[in-house]
Structure 1
Amino acid sequence: MECYERAKKFILRNSRPLDMARWNYLFENGSKEEVINILKAYQNADGGFANALEPDCWNINSTPLQTWVATRIIEEINLDDKNHPIIKGIIDYLSSNAEFDGHRWNGLNTVVTNDNYPHAPWWSYTQKQELQYNPTASIIGFILKYAEKHTDIYKLACELSKEAYDYFKKNFPLESMHESACFIELYDYMKECSMSNLIDMEEFNKLLQKQIKQVITYDTKTWNTDYVCKPSFFIKSKSSDFYLENKDICKFEYQFILETQNEDGSWNVTWDWNNEFEEWTISKNWWKSDIIIKNIKYIKEFK
């Protein structure tokens, strides 16, 4: 497939080792351990993640947001071993109450130390931001899946899942596509772990079906130039509970991806730091590899 070969060439020429390892694992029969070994380099001694794992934030201090990015890679490579050191480290970090206010990790979606390192403007620290569940809703789900049931952190996550769901219902529909995605990740974790004893999963499903339609950008003319919400933000495969009700727009995105690939194998990065940090040039290139991986995954899932 020409699209795949162009993408592969970009990855080989430009990607950081982590994204090369992800590419190899997902598409070239590569090793899961290769991904894990490189991912460990972004993990600090406290078990949290940092060091520009999320390319828009170069903070070297562990943050819940960058730790959440690590959890998504763990899901991507299907690492299910609860006793794996990288997972135990994350659970230890979350158990330490770092950046935890008793209800949310990183409720303001940023931390003070971000300002000491190159970062996108939306990761600057400000007390004026509203509390939200990005990334807490997803982190709760991670704990429910990976923490041992007898531990305090697991029991806490059970209670927090109820709090998060109450917030979701009270604030429905949510305005943020990122917060929406974290609630979909919570739903997926809870479904996988059969957690219907905690919340009404059928009701959760119905509300999420409506939530997705609220935040998807249906003006597809803007997709290639603006930072907008596409169905792939929530729906990763045809097996998703949310695929059938969004089948047409998912099919459109499949065709859109095929038609908008650049000559160098990448796709447009539709956001910009617009600040004094020159590191954006490096981060933008890292993002291109991440977008390539997600787009090729999508093509393979929806062909």
Structure 2
Amino acid sequence: MKMNFSDLTLSQLTLEKIRTAFLKIARPLEIARYSYHFEKGSVKGVLKELSAFQNHDGGFGHGLEPDFHLPDSTPMATSVGLRILNSLTSSKARDEMIAKALQYLRTAFYLDRVGWYSVTPEVNEFPHAPWWTYNFTTNMTPIDNSWGNPTAELLGYAYSYQRFMPNWPIETYIENALQNFERKTDFSSEHELYCFLHLYHHLSSDLRVRLEKNLQRGIDALVVTDKKKWPSYVPQPLDFLIFPDDNLWKISEDYIRINLQYYISLLEKNCVIYPNWEWSTYPSHWDLAKKEWTGVLTLKYLKRLQQFGVDVEIRFSF
């Protein structure tokens, strides 16, 4: 059953202030996506801006994920690009970009890992957050300690768009991911869990059921319902409701309401959503990344409010 919190509101004056602040701080990509989702903008406009982040090999880079500014293609940045493409109405141009991205992923796949590493060693040569530093002893970043991030999400796109990857054994790799997750007992990474949630929503119903028990266990273990902790970097109720048509994961509607109210209050106070983390390195570049993240996060939570029935439409008077 779809949840609806249409009784929660933002005033028209606040929405106009949010829009003004957002347009000043966001990248052209997020502005195009805002137009698409809230102002009947075109898919073409989003694709035009997103194409600036897609390389000739089909993968995405160039700081699409603002915490690392490596221009080269990486699986992690490509997961962000595919997430955006998947949110758009199908078109020939959109599908061509997806096909190119999947061809890149095919070449970047590691058989011995049965998946992808998030980034390449060259990430160290460009400004990045500390958690993206490539370790030449382990031959990966700290993010890669969690196998499913971004592999589980990327397998979801490969499964949904397998027509663009002929003769690639996606069923074998999906089966490996399912078995990997069914054996899982340690739920220490919320980001890995988010990736499995994305995978879940790409699968057929008979495959979904194999993920449900451990997804519930992971969410129960990780979700932070104490609103006093939300200003810190913690996984909140809304973070696990990526596709909020229904609340599969038994998160109390009271907590969802409180979490929605939390973001409404932030928007009323600041007009934008600032990141609740920062880099300890590259301070001048963090200033740029913070601006980029502010646009990304503001758009994310405006969309989330809309998905849960909160009216965020601006009714201009002329």
TM norm. shorter chain > 0.5: yes
Deviation at 1:77, TM superposition (A): 2.0
For 1:165 and 1:58, locate their aligned partners in 2 and report how far apart those are by CA, in whole Å.
Answer: 32
For 2:186 and 2:214, locate their aligned partners in 1 and report how far apart those are by CA, in whole Å.
Answer: 8
SS at match of 1:159: helix
The equivalent of 1:166 in structure 2 is 179
Question: Once structures 1 and 2 are overlaid, which stretch shifts more, 91-100 or 210-219?
Answer: 91-100
Deviation at 1:101, TM superposition (A): 4.3
281 and 26 in structure 1: CA distance in 2 versus 1, 3 angstrom threshold: same
Q: Where do 5+ consecutive residues of structure 1 fail to align?
A: none
The equivalent of 1:147 in structure 2 is 162
Q: Where do 5+ consecutive residues of structure 2 fail to align?
A: 1-10, 311-318
SS at match of 1:274: coil
How many residue pairs get aligned? The number is: 292
TM alignment of 1:115-134, pairs within 5 A: 115-126=124-135, 127-128=137-138, 129=142, 130-134=145-149
For 1:278 and 1:8, locate their aligned partners in 2 and report how far apart those are by CA, in whole Å.
Answer: 26
CA contact (8 A) 1:119 1:277 kept: no
CA contact (8 A) 1:133 1:179 kept: yes
Residue 112 of structure 1, aligned match among 121, 127, 151: 121
CA contact (8 A) 1:82 1:147 kept: no
The equivalent of 1:103 in structure 2 is 114
TM alignment of 1:1-303, pairs within 5 A: 1=11, 2-79=13-90, 84-97=95-108, 101-106=112-117, 109-126=118-135, 127-128=137-138, 129=142, 130-148=145-163, 151-153=166-168, 155=169, 157-190=170-203, 194=204, 196=206, 199=207, 201-224=208-231, 226-242=232-248, 245-261=251-267, 263-302=269-308, 303=310
Q: Percent identity?
A: 28
33 and 148 in structure 1: CA distance in 2 versus 1, 3 angstrom threshold: same
181 and 80 in structure 1: CA distance in 2 versus 1, 3 angstrom threshold: farther
For 2:147 and 2:262, locate their aligned partners in 1 and report how far apart those are by CA, in whole Å.
Answer: 31
> Deviations for 1:47-99, whole angstroms, at most 9, x for unmatched residues?
00000000111001100000000011112224475982201111110121356
TM-score in terms of structure 1 length: 0.89
Deviation at 1:195, TM superposition (A): 5.9
Deviation at 1:131, TM superposition (A): 4.9
Deviation at 1:173, TM superposition (A): 4.3
Tell me which of the two structures has the higher relative contact order, counting C-alpha pairs closer than 8 angstroms and 6 or more residues apart: 2
Which letter maps to 2:181?
A: F
RMSD of aligned residue pairs (Cα, Å): 2.2
> Deviations for 1:216-259, whole angstroms, at most 9, x for unmatched residues?
112220212x1110122221354135265442221111111111
Deviation at 1:3, TM superposition (A): 3.8
Which letter maps to 2:218?
A: Q
96 and 296 in structure 1: CA distance in 2 versus 1, 3 angstrom threshold: same
Which letter maps to 2:256?
A: C
CA contact (8 A) 1:59 1:118 kept: yes
